[in-house]
Amino acid sequence: MADVERETRANAAGESDIFSPVRLGALDLANRIVMAPMTRDRAGPEDEPTPIMVDYYRQRASAGLIVTEGTQPSPAGKGYWRTPGIHSEAQVEGWRAVADAVHGGGGRIVMQLMHTGRASVRANKHPDAETIAPSAILCPDKIPGPDGVPQETEMPRALETGEIAGVIGEYVTAARNARRAGIDGVELHCASGYLPMQFLSSNSNQRNDRYGGSVENRIRFVVETLEALAAAIGPGRVGFRICPGVTLNGMADADPHETYAALLKAVDGLGLAYVHLIHIPLPGQDALELVRANWSGPVIENCGLTLEKARAVLAEGKADAVSFGYAFIANPDLVERFRTGAALAKADRKSFYTGDGDDRRGYTDYPALGV
């Protein structure tokens, strides 16, 4: 079955190019170039999108699809300073301005829902917000605080079994809020050592209930969350992002091949819009092949792609779209630069994360071609 689907996809991709349109679920993209989600720390004091965030996304609306920076579905989901939320009316209104700007530029935009779980520090959170996780195990990696200096993380409280449905409900409310704001869909962040991956990984999930232990139990939180999101806003408007084998924020799954094969098979029949793969080396198996062997839906490929590599991935039918991160920071007109063969500007890493909702430096001041 997988071989037939791969051959069919390759034949279809061979007739198109990175600049050709594609449909991912219910999302119609003008081209196959996706702007990857990137935390930039420019939200306002109430974690609301700011006017410069509106400009930032408007400038990049020529992408076939924009995936927003990670956005917390609840106060407990926040881990970093000045990341935006989608759980208050002020935040919804801020995101409405972003959505209108992107749509006005002819683009499509989905919101990445990012609950950091244990990967957070107290100084970044609302005083009343808890730090929660599948198990009371400390995240070993430090997280930057409000001043940008990495701090020790806070010991999380293990969720009770009866609380998990409520956390899933927060994701659902966030997705509905995103749609109210005019955002086209959502992407569940299941990578980077955040809450969904904390459930998936055998070292961070030491539960002995139906959400821990066996692979079938450890994937349950993600499966139930994707099912709930699909039921709330339609499966064709829901994607999810994975990175099998990543060790960020203390992840060390005993067998990522088994874990992600089981996850992909479990959600393959839901009719979701796409899986967004951060493609890193996976010992013993190529991560993209792992996805293709267990998932029949659309794939967005990400990680260190050049234009040439991206075109090859599409031409070989290995992915339906390709995403770029850093390149979009310094090149708001990345699609046009790719189309014309123009040189790419380089991003200033010192200005990636400023924590200032009014700071345009290294954010909206990169010029387009001819400016």
Residue 255 is predicted with a pLDDT of: 97
Residue 27 has pLDDT above 90, yes or no: yes
Residue 14 is predicted with a pLDDT of: 42
Give mean pLDDT, residues 250-274.
Answer: 98
Residue 359 is predicted with a pLDDT of: 87
Residue 313 has pLDDT above 70, yes or no: yes
Give mean pLDDT, residues 193-212.
Answer: 98
Does residue 369 form part of some domain? no
Does residue 338 form part of some domain? yes
Residue 121: closest CA among 158, 90, 149, 91: 149
Burial class (CB in 10 A: 0-12, 13-18, 19+), 276: buried
Residue 121 is predicted with a pLDDT of: 96
Residue 371 is predicted with a pLDDT of: 66
Does residue 365 form part of some domain? no
Residue 63 is predicted with a pLDDT of: 98
* Half-sphere exposure (Cβ direction) of 204: Cα atoms closer than 13 Å: 32
Does residue 12 form part of some domain? yes
Token pair 């749509």 is at which residue? 103
pTM equals: 0.95
Q: Annotated catalytic residue: which of 194, 274, 353, 366? A: 194
Does residue 368 form part of some domain? no
Residue 4 has pLDDT above 80, yes or no: no
Give mean pLDDT, residues 287-309.
Answer: 97
Residue 10 is predicted with a pLDDT of: 41
On average, the pLDDT of the chain sits at 94
Rounded to an integer, what distance in angstroms lies between the CA atom of residue 302 and that of residue 6?
18
For 44, the domain range is: 2-351
Does residue 212 form part of some domain? yes
Give mean pLDDT, residues 37-43.
Answer: 97
Is 194 tagged catalytic?
yes
Give mean pLDDT, residues 224-251.
Answer: 98
- The predicted-structure confidence for 149-188, as pLDDT tens digits, reads as follows 999 999 999 999 999 999 999 999 999 999 999 999 999 9
DSSP structural state of residue 186: E
DSSP structural state of residue 70: P
- The predicted-structure confidence for 55-68, as pLDDT tens digits, reads as follows 999 999 999 999 99
Residue 2 is predicted with a pLDDT of: 44
Q: How many domains does the chain have?
A: 1
What are the helix (H) ranges across the chain? 2-14, 51-59, 89-104, 164-180, 195-200, 215-218, 220-233, 256-267, 287-294, 307-315, 326-330, 334-340
CATH of residue 9's domain is: 3.20.20.70
